[in-house]
Structure 1
């Protein structure tokens, strides 16, 4: 019966190792022999991209206030999201600044130009009268004719815009209506007949990518305020890959040092702690993937820090167990008593760190929030593995008949 428990423990170890192999793929994306799993998105500092600080300015038409800044933020968010950027960061900073971080951008300069474009659309008659603006648009979609290969942007007007366009085209049959974007005339088609369906086309684009950019700008609407780029930092993909490689190596060295120390100093409990540390890593990575946590350099630092705190909890517990063993208690009683006596100390240290992480998340931005989230996930997971999983494995080990107190570091060190 005792060996049945040993085999059960061995099966759990094998299962955890297999899960670990599947789970480490997101942080080792270039290791081809590992099975593919759901990737954890990498931040700007790990895969390259651009960091932009925008500042809003007053104009004759609109002043910088809370309402206009909210509209500006929403318009920029719509543009960034439509560009298909993975896990972008768009947030307001202060009264008139907006921070934008785009990871994995191939052409940062073009992305910035597209973000700050005014994108003011007008339809004007030959006498210069504006009949429609971008505010009358419902949708804009790029397309390419499979036969003629003509690339265009299809416009669909809202109810009010449809009525305006129908009235304007009815009154201007045989005349030209100019389509103007940011003051530049895109085309001047002739109205052959009234258009009552609420749709129009803009042609003359070189490719679908150019048409897609225009469609995105039109759908996001004109920016309500004049914006200026006051800071732009570009991180190259090679620099990001180098940072990721160095971070992984540093984490691996730290992990190996911890595993050797725990095994050498605490012996059998140390081996259990190492096993629990593997489980901890698997759970944290799985949570990161499930929450779509953007992994950054500060996030990796938080992961390593929480890994150290997980080991620290085990150290406190094992020292308590050794004290109980030295007092003459049985192994099972020492394990149970050690966990109970260490629980308050472990809980206090983790709760205070969680409070600090909450403060960082609330007042911080960008990488600081990434650090706070990764630290919080790591701490909560470490409490689970230390208080429940390690305890269960130690009891399971004690049930196998391995009761030599020297193996638990109580004597003969």
Structure 2
């Protein structure tokens, strides 16, 4: 008795400890979240690195990164993300930056400072200066750049030589190009390329200043460039994405609120459906969110909009593991077993299925991480973290806490606390057999599959017809976003109501042609063009929109080179994911299970693509993340169903099977697991619905695609994968299954007597 009471005490202490830990440290964990540029503003740029001299060799990329990092340090950005891609590309992500134009110039300008005479002869470069010796200064109230000379002897020699020339002018250049730049050509221009041209009357043995028509901002920027040192390469911009700070903060608030409400809705659903286990599941969700955020912070993860969507979607997936276990416990109770025996068997039977199903989603996440960039990488990283935490929490926390209550004996006569009805539980001591097999017992799923398959064929047909029509009219089969088609996307944010006609007139006045305008609500508009606009044009657009509408624009530019590579990587990632799924399912089950799974996956992917073709939604890199996530989710659902099909086939134990036998296997298996599939889909869709209705408009298409994919994956597992397996299995040779002799343990389990051998 004391031992049982002690378990109740441990249960109470554990629950209070979890709540106390989350309550005490939640704020610290939240404060340590590093927000990505789409949540706090900033920009991302991909540069192609080329030698300074055509035909030259590239220096060590690490030296380039070091020089870039030194310049970023001058800007004052915390935790910049600088990623080397391949041999000649560098991706730079700066979140929370206030002056994006200044940062862009500081990063990409070669900043090779030289001193030359009027004949363009090189006299000295920046090595003549002290490190960090350039600074903003004033001379007689005029803004200048002060230079501390390190090699004063050499500087005295060159200034003496210039002072004796007929034209005693020393010209200061930044990034002088011998092929195109000449002092004689530039000197009479209103805005020459050189920084300054000063007369030298005599030798200078001390420090120097650079004079010109400098503003304070330009002089400070120039001194920062000189201090950061010259880049040993040329930087060609291939891709850029800018997000204003106001837009980022708004996106974070709306998406976080939608996610929080979605999590609470899932917790309420679990409590309603499962009573006591549902309450523990709700407690687990609190712990799950806390641990996931803590772990993601610990590995230096950066939160993006898709990453938060992955966190919220993970809520549905982790609850799925609970649903699997709770439904298995119910099944055992309906067999007339004790609470303790049902708890043990429920966990044992669900464990392998949970690991198998979560493994497939993990495979998809790994593929996303390897081939993805930017937000896709953030989504996949978060997805991997959620899967790991899901398995650990379900195994250790829920099992441990519920096990304490069960082993205490307190629940022995409280089977209704598992949301089962006593009238459905047989009394095995009186020889009663199982009499309740769930609400779908006797349901003919095989027969019902036909209208679902017809519905899918109609959607796929409409998608194909829409894609064909649009391709024939020159619009392209799919509405490829700039991620794939290359070009520029500008998000106009406004303090006042926008109209499509107004935005079109604004951009035509700025000289743009062949662009599309799409309104999102009343104060946001997306303007896209297949032209990769120049930095000058983008700055002009940004200034005009800010002046007229009161908010900064967000911009994204993709060059054709990057667009083509994204298409290639997307196709490759999908193919690799399908192959790995086929191998995994074939190894864990048999080849016919694998074929049926892949066909269901193809169905889910093409349903999503058909919806995008019909409604002409933008196809972006985020859609690839959605497709890969759906692949993992759909396989998750299919594996749970096939696990029950295999178990039912094993229990039927016949030497030969007719088609009706296989139909019975499928119908019996689905009747036992379809409720779990329905609840799992519901708990995953609940947070997605809140993200759709309340989340940031920036990821509406992402959330919508996920919503459609989840629906398609839910019914394809039941009405396509299972039905296809039935037909493959019946038509393959031989039609003889391996028979399994029932063990003595299984026979005794059916005759468990409460209070004697439970």
TM-score by length of 2: 0.45
Q: Distance in 1 between matches of 2:240 and 2:196?
A: 30
5+ residue gaps, structure 1: 27-36
- Name the counterpart of 1:5: 10
Pick aligned residue for 2:391 from 355, 370, 383: 383
User: What is the CA–CA distance in structure 2 between the aligned matches of 1:180 and 1:240, rounded to whole Å?
Assistant: 39
Q: Which of residues 407, 417, 430 is equivalent to 1:407?
A: 417
Pairing partner for 1:169 from 156, 163, 175: 156
Question: Which residue of structure 1 lines up, in the alignment, with residue 279 of structure 2?
Answer: 271
Give the SS at the match of 2:94: strand
Task: Tell me how large the CA RMSD over aligned residues is.
Answer: 3.8
Residues in 2 aligned to 1:170 and 1:12: alpha-carbon distance in whole angstroms = 76
1:85 aligned residue (77, 91, 96): 77
Match of 1:306 in 2: 314
> 1:120, 1:144 → 2: CA distance?
19
Distance in 2 between residues matched to 1:303 and 1:153, nearest whole Å:
52
Corresponding residue for 1:34? none
1:331 aligns with 339
Q: 1:225 to 1:42 in 2, by over 3 A?
A: same
Q: What is the aligned partner in structure 2 of residue 252 from structure 1?
A: 260
Partner in structure 2 of residue 340 of structure 1: 348
| Contact in 2 for aligned 1:154/1:200 (Cα 8 Å) | yes
**Which residue of 225, 234, 249 corresponds with 2:242?**
234
The 1:6/1:217 distance shift into structure 2, 3 A limit, reads same
Which residue of structure 2 lines up, in the alignment, with residue 30 of structure 1? none
Deviation at 1:135, TM superposition (A): 5.8
Q: CA deviation at 1:241?
A: 2.4
SS at match of 1:140: strand
- Kept after mapping to 2: 8 A contact 1:19/1:282: no
Larger radius of gyration: 2
Q: Name 1:122's counterpart in structure 2.
A: 114
CA shift for structure 1 position 134 = 3.5
* Structure with the larger RCO, 1 or 2 (CA within 8 Å, 6+ apart): 1
Q: Secondary structure at the match of 1:221?
A: coil
**In structure 2, what is the Cα distance between the partners aligned to 1:64 and 1:96?**
13
Q: 1:270 to 1:219 in 2, by over 3 A?
A: same
Residues 79, 217 of structure 1: 8 Å contact kept: no
- Are the structure 2 counterparts of residues 81 and 325 from structure 1 closer, same or farther at C-alpha, using a change threshold of 3 Å? farther
Q: Supply the distance in 2 between the matched residues of 1:265 and 1:98 (Cα, whole angstroms).
A: 51
Q: Deviations over 1:160-208 (max 9, x none)?
A: xx5xx6344356559586554345245759776757xxx8776887659
The 8 Å contact of residues 157 and 203 in structure 2, kept in 1 or not, is answered as no
Relative to structure 1, the CA distance from residue 401 to residue 124 in structure 2 (aligned partners, 3 Å threshold; closer, same or farther) is: same
The 3 A distance-change label for structure 1 pair 15 and 384 is same
1:282-316 CA-to-partner distances (Å, cap 9, x unmatched) read 11111222223111111011111222111111111
Counterpart CA distance in 1 for 2:130 and 2:387 is 47
Could you tell me how far apart the structure 1 residues matched to 2:394 and 2:130 are? 55
- Structure 1 residues 234 and 326: alpha-carbon distance in aligned structure 2, compared to 1, 3 A threshold: same
Length-normalised TM-score, structure 1:
0.78
Query: Which digits, 9 at most, give the CA deviation of each residue in 1:40-90, with x for residues without a partner?
Result: 12112222223445456787x234876587765664454334422244444
**How far apart, in 2, do the equivalents of 1:275 and 1:371 lie?**
25
Aligned residue runs from structure 1 range 5-404, under 5 A: 5-19=10-24, 21-22=26-27, 26=30, 37-38=31-32, 40-54=33-47, 61-63=53-55, 67=59, 75-91=67-83, 98-124=90-116, 129-134=121-126, 139-140=131-132, 162=151, 166-170=153-157, 172=159, 175=163, 179-182=172-175, 184-186=194-196, 210-211=219-220, 214-216=223-225, 218-222=227-231, 224-225=233-234, 227=236, 229=237, 232-403=240-411, 404=414
How many Å apart are 1:370 and its aligned residue?
0.6
Distance 1:247 1:177, change over 3 A: same
Contact 2:149–2:155 (8 Å) recurs in 1: no
Deviations 1:369-391 (A, max 9, x none): 11111111111111111110111
Counterparts of 1:383 and 1:141 in 2: how far apart (Å)?
56
The worse-fitting range, judged by mean Cα deviation, of 401-410 and 208-217 is 208-217
Partner residue of 2:466?
none
SS in 2 for 1:184: coil
Whether contact under 8 Å (1:140, 1:154) holds in the other structure is no
Q: 1:138 to 1:287 in 2, by over 3 A?
A: farther
**Paired positions, count:** 389
Moved more, 101-110 or 380-389: 101-110
SS at structure 1 position matched to 2:115: strand
Give SS of 1:309's match: helix
Q: Cα 1:226–1:360, aligned 2, differ >3 Å: closer, same or farther?
A: closer
The answer (yes or no) to whether the contact 2:274–2:419 under 8 Å persists in 1 is: yes
**For the structure 1 residues 327 and 348, does the alpha-carbon distance in structure 2 shift closer, same or farther, using more than 3 Å as the test?**
same
Residues 210 and 282 of structure 1, relative CA distance in 2, 3 Å threshold? farther
Partner SS state of residue 302, structure 2? coil
